[in-house]
Amino acid sequence: MKEALLYKALKEKKVQCRNCAHYCVIEPGKRGICGVRENKNGKLYALNYGKAIAVHIDPIEKKPFFHFLPGSHSLSIATVGCNFACKNCQNWDISQGFKGEKEIFGEDLPPKEVVKMALENNLPSISYTYTEPTIFSEYALDTMKIAKKKGLKNNWVTNGFWSKELFGLIWPYLDAANVDLKGFSDEFYIKVCEARLQPVLDNLIALKQKKIWVEVTTLSIPTLSDSEEMFKGIAKFIKEKLGPETPWHITQFSGAISWKLQHLPETPTSILKKAYEIGKKTGLKYVYTGNVPGLPSEDTLCPKCGTLAIDRMAYIVRRYDKNGKCPKCGANLDLILE
């Protein structure tokens, strides 16, 4: 437990959390939407500080990052909690399952130990992932500061729904972010995620302005986020506001592992291919499909001449690029290699 970095004391011992874009007003003895920030007698505490619920070594492509340290592995950590309540969540047992319980689950793993683990395993980066790094921001930030001094990269896999105040604290230590752009309307965000769209768009733009590497992921859910209109809107936003070099991942939904959408079928590959075509037609250089191994749209092709530069089959990665350049024409492939 650690006192929260970002909150404002209010009357009658209430507090306003300023960690994410919900800006929860929390009564004494109560917790915010995320389930891990509690008002204790007029002070806000992060109950999940240093309590890792998941620690794994993953291929960086699993995040997914396709242009950031391609072919490498990353130490991935998380605590319980989330400031969204996505019906499609596949990690709902750790993001939502504990809510209502008094105890915050997780093993004690201080920031220094996280960094030590990454260094001992010769890993170039730490990924803050699985749930939502925003809700363990104090833990993540302390870890990121140490990691940065040791020459490690810090990556967030995030819903992008952080506050402006939090962004001001984290961006100097953040090297890359894969942001879920889950839909392209407030209606979708309210109905499926219990959140709002605009803060996510604002934070995506802010990331690019700070020259932090960004990749965008959209999970295509049958009947909810699979329309041509949505795909066109997202592709246009990425091209115009983030830049055509920004990779866009469109991934397949599976109802079997979702929290509250188990009645929905898997996304047909035809929908993923349609989204891919829309992204390319809009002018995006790098569009990828995910969760369906074997599709050619997993590969990185030179945007200039079409030559295969990185071949992917699930997490098996074969690089043919020459230090981030096309092996045939020498065009820049927008790869972050170190």
Whether the CB-CB separation of 20 and 83 falls below 8 Å is answered with: yes
pLDDT at 314: 84
Q: How many CB atoms lie within 10 A of CB 201?
A: 17
- Cβ-proximal residues to 180 (8 Å cutoff; 6+ apart), any chain: 158, 159, 160, 216, 217, 218, 219
CA proximity to 115, closest of 82, 70, 75, 147: 147
pLDDT at 124: 98
**Tokens 């070594």 — which residue?**
57
Looking at the chain, list the stretches that DSSP marks H as alpha helix, in order from N- to C-terminal side: 92-95, 111-120, 137-149, 164-170, 186-188, 198-209, 228-237, 269-282
The domain limits of the chain are 2-46, 51-298, 299-338
Whether the CB-CB separation of 111 and 55 falls below 8 Å is answered with: no
Q: Omega into 64 within 30° of 0, i.e. cis?
A: yes
Q: Which residues pair with 58 in a beta bridge?
A: 74
Whether the CB-CB separation of 276 and 267 falls below 8 Å is answered with: no
pLDDT at 149: 98
Looking at 238-314, list the stretches that DSSP marks H as alpha helix, in order from N- to C-terminal side: 269-282
Distance CA 227, CA 217 (A): 16
Backbone angles phi, psi at 103, to 5 degrees: -80, 140
* DSSP-based helix, strand, coil % in the chain, nearest 5: 30, 25, 45
**Token pair belonging to 114:** 């996280």
Between helix 137-149 and helix 111-120 the angle, nearest 10°, is 50
Distance CA 237, CA 118 (A): 35
pLDDT at 1: 86
pLDDT at 101: 87
What is residue 149's three-state secondary structure? helix
Distance CA 27, CA 52 (A): 27
CA proximity to 242, closest of 203, 278, 208: 208
pLDDT at 245: 98
CA proximity to 193, closest of 86, 281, 104, 106: 86
- Cβ-proximal residues to 338 (8 Å cutoff; 6+ apart), any chain: 69, 124
Fold of 51-298: TIM Barrel (3.20.20)
Distance CA 292, CA 221 (A): 14
What CA–CA distances, in Å, run from 168 to 37, 83, 97, 139, 207?
20, 19, 30, 16, 11
Distance CA 199, CA 9 (A): 23
In order along its 338 residues, the chain shows pLDDT tens digits of 899 999 999 999 999 999 999 999 999 999 999 999 999 999 999 999 999 999 999 999 999 999 999 999 999 999 999 999 999 999 999 999 998 888 999 999 999 999 999 999 999 999 999 999 999 999 999 999 999 999 999 999 999 999 999 999 999 999 999 999 999 999 999 999 999 999 999 999 999 999 999 999 999 999 999 999 999 999 999 999 999 999 999 999 999 899 999 999 999 999 999 999 999 999 999 999 999 998 999 999 999 999 999 999 989 999 999 999 999 999 999 999 99
